[in-house]
């Protein structure tokens, strides 16, 4: 593709991956929708596409930066492509206001999926003509931060060898499933939750030198997070490095070059049918001859994409995470059901922006460590009153 673009326009000296990212997103959506039928190998154990792919939230994230004549169609145009909304209580209606449409859609998807992942796509907006709650995404505007809920970057490899990356990137509760404990009352979201921690350290990335930012962040996180026992262990295979890469890469393959974790080293209960679900993995910077049909990715470019609009944070309890770039020391972190958010009080409103935390690394989940990995714990929290988000 890059070669063809340069051949068509002699003025182009180089074509970066960012220049063709929109095309790769379109090809990836077609790849999922066709169930990889265009591959000369058809589906194999390494490139199988799930029956439920593409999912609507994945489509919304992938197409968020695309233009549309009507802002309604940023949602409506994707409904017929999604494989996971057959019984969702939502129908396209151009007669309703855009604000009402986006809010109704977010509510319907959360109830249908029994998940609050949809509200993780909400970003700060001061548009006077769009009056939606802080938990409702505005799909009419491009994203200003990298997505932490679904993949928005397609790996640089031949499309027929791209794995199905639909579904969550991070799993705060490891590989267990907890009951949803939320409800909507008009523009108010009521959800079980608890204040977890306070931001103590904030470090912004160097936009002009992403390569140095990787080591700067690693140094900052290492100094602030490692226990005395961990300080005596060095090397890329240490527990700290597992945590650091887990923060950047999540629990599913697709962004960084990866090595699958052997079955015997995976968390208890992880399915052996790896071709149909996300599985634990170890990210690494692969050389070109090690990538198995994967073209070479610069780690600095990947880091720049993953951390776009975000800052490194370390909390008082030594969690490290990716937070929105406006974060400041002293901000509070709250757990909502099985999601992690940054909570900020602002003119009587709770302004939510998604933040991912890592302390136990890719081998488990943060909720397990803080004692919120059981239904009994969440039942007690729920009985104590829910957080109201407007």
pLDDT of residue 371: 57
Number of domains in the chain: 2
Tell me which of 92, 126, 161 is where a domain ends. Answer: 161
Q: Based on the fold, state whether residues 111 and 242 are members of the same structural domain.
A: no
Tell me which of 100, 128, 161 is where a domain ends. Answer: 161
Vertex 168: Cα angle to 188 and 357 (nearest 5): 80
In terms of pLDDT, which residue wins out, 373 or 73?
73
- 171 found inside a domain: no
- 167 found inside a domain: no
- 172 found inside a domain: no
**DSSP codes joined into one string, 1-13:** -HHHHHHH-TT-S
pLDDT of residue 271: 54
- 175 found inside a domain: no
How do residues 272-287 score in pLDDT, each as one tens digit?
544 434 444 444 443 3
**Alpha-carbon gap, residue 334 to 193, rounded angstroms:** 7
Q: Based on the fold, state whether residues 65 and 109 are members of the same structural domain.
A: yes
**% of the chain exceeding 90 in pLDDT:** 21
CB 172 within 8 A of CB 367: yes
Q: Based on the fold, state whether residues 143 and 249 are members of the same structural domain.
A: no
Q: Identify the band that residue 160 occupies on the pLDDT scale cut at 50, 70 and 90.
A: confident
- 230 found inside a domain: yes
pTM of the shown model: 0.78
- 170 found inside a domain: no
Q: Based on the fold, state whether residues 135 and 222 are members of the same structural domain.
A: no
Question: Which of 84-93, 106-115, 307-316, 352-361 has the weakest average pLDDT?
Answer: 352-361
In terms of pLDDT, which residue wins out, 142 or 303?
142
Q: Based on the fold, state whether residues 220 and 146 are members of the same structural domain.
A: no
Give the number of residues written for the chain: 390
Q: Based on the fold, state whether residues 54 and 154 are members of the same structural domain.
A: yes
- Give the other-Cβ count within 10 Å of 243's Cβ: 23
- First and final C-alpha spacing in the chain: 45
Q: Based on the fold, state whether residues 104 and 13 are members of the same structural domain.
A: yes
Q: Based on the fold, state whether residues 154 and 303 are members of the same structural domain.
A: no
Vertex 297: Cα angle to 6 and 223 (nearest 5): 140
Q: Based on the fold, state whether residues 224 and 350 are members of the same structural domain.
A: yes
Q: Identify the band that residue 359 occupies on the pLDDT scale cut at 50, 70 and 90.
A: very low
Q: Based on the fold, state whether residues 47 and 106 are members of the same structural domain.
A: yes
How do residues 89-128 score in pLDDT, each as one tens digit?
999 999 999 999 999 999 999 999 998 889 889 887 777 7
Long-range contacts of 40-47 (CB under 8 A, 24+ apart): 40/160, 41/160, 45/274, 45/275, 46/161, 46/163, 46/275, 47/160, 47/161, 47/162, 47/163, 47/164
CB 378 within 8 A of CB 181: yes
- 54 found inside a domain: yes
Q: Is 118 helix (H, G, I), strand (E, B) or coil?
A: helix
**Alpha-carbon gap, residue 165 to 197, rounded angstroms:** 31
How do residues 184-239 score in pLDDT, each as one tens digit?
999 999 988 888 788 899 999 887 887 788 888 888 888 888 777 766 665 555 66
Q: Based on the fold, state whether residues 119 and 213 are members of the same structural domain.
A: no
pLDDT of residue 94: 97
**Alpha-carbon gap, residue 330 to 323, rounded angstroms:** 13
Q: Which domain holds residue 222?
A: 182-389
For helices 239-249 and 299-306, give the axis angle rounded to 10 degrees.
Answer: 60
- 169 found inside a domain: no
Q: Is 344 helix (H, G, I), strand (E, B) or coil?
A: strand
pLDDT of residue 258: 47
Highest mean pLDDT among 113-122, 257-266, 345-354: 113-122
Q: Identify the band that residue 345 occupies on the pLDDT scale cut at 50, 70 and 90.
A: very low
Q: Based on the fold, state whether residues 58 and 102 are members of the same structural domain.
A: yes
The tokens describing 185, both together, are 């009352």
């Amino acid at each position: 593709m890059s070669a063809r673009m340069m051949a068509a326009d002699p003025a182009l000296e180089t074509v970066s991956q960012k220049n063709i990212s929109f095309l790769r997103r379109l090809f990836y959506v077609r790849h999922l929708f066709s169930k990889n039928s265009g591959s000369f190998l058809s589906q194999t154990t390494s490139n199988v596409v799930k029956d439920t792919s593409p999912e609507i939230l994945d489509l919304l994230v992938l197409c968020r930066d695309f233009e549309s004549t009507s802002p309604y169609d940023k949602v409506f145009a994707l409904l017929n492509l999604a494989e996971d909304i057959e019984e969702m209580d939502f129908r396209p209606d151009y007669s309703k206001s855009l604000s009402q449409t986006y809010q109704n859609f977010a509510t319907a998807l959360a109830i249908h999926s029994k998940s609050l992942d949809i509200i993780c796509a909400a970003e700060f907006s001061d548009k006077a003509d769009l009056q939606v709650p802080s938990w409702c995404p505005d799909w009419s505007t491009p994203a200003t931060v990298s997505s932490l809920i679904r993949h928005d970057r397609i790996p640089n490899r031949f499309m027929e060898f791209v794995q199905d990356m639909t579904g969550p990137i991070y799993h705060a509760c490891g590989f267990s499933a907890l009951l949803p404990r939320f409800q909507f009352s008009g523009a108010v979201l009521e959800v079980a939750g608890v204040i977890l921690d306070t931001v103590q350290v904030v470090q912004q990335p160097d936009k002009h030198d992403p390569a140095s930012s990787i080591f700067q962040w690693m140094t900052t996180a290492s100094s602030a997070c490692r226990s005395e026992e961990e300080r005596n262990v060095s090397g890329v295979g240490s527990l700290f490095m597992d945590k650091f890469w887990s923060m950047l890469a999540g629990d599913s393959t697709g962004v960084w070059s990866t090595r699958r974790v052997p079955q015997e080293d995976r968390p208890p209960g992880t399915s052996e049918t790896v071709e149909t679900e996300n599985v634990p993995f170890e990210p690494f910077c692969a050389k070109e001859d090690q990538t198995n049909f994967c073209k070479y990715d610069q780690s600095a470019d990947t880091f720049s994409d993953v951390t776009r609009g975000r800052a490194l944070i370390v909390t008082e309890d030594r969690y490290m995470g990716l937070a929105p770039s406006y974060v400041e020391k002293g901000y509070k972190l709250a757990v909502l059901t099985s999601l992690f958010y940054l909570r900020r009080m602002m003119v009587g409103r709770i302004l939510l922006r998604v933040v991912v935390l890592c302390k136990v690394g890719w081998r488990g989940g943060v909720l397990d460590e803080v004692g919120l990995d059981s239904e009994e714990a969440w039942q007690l929290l729920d009985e104590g009153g829910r957080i109201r988000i407007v």
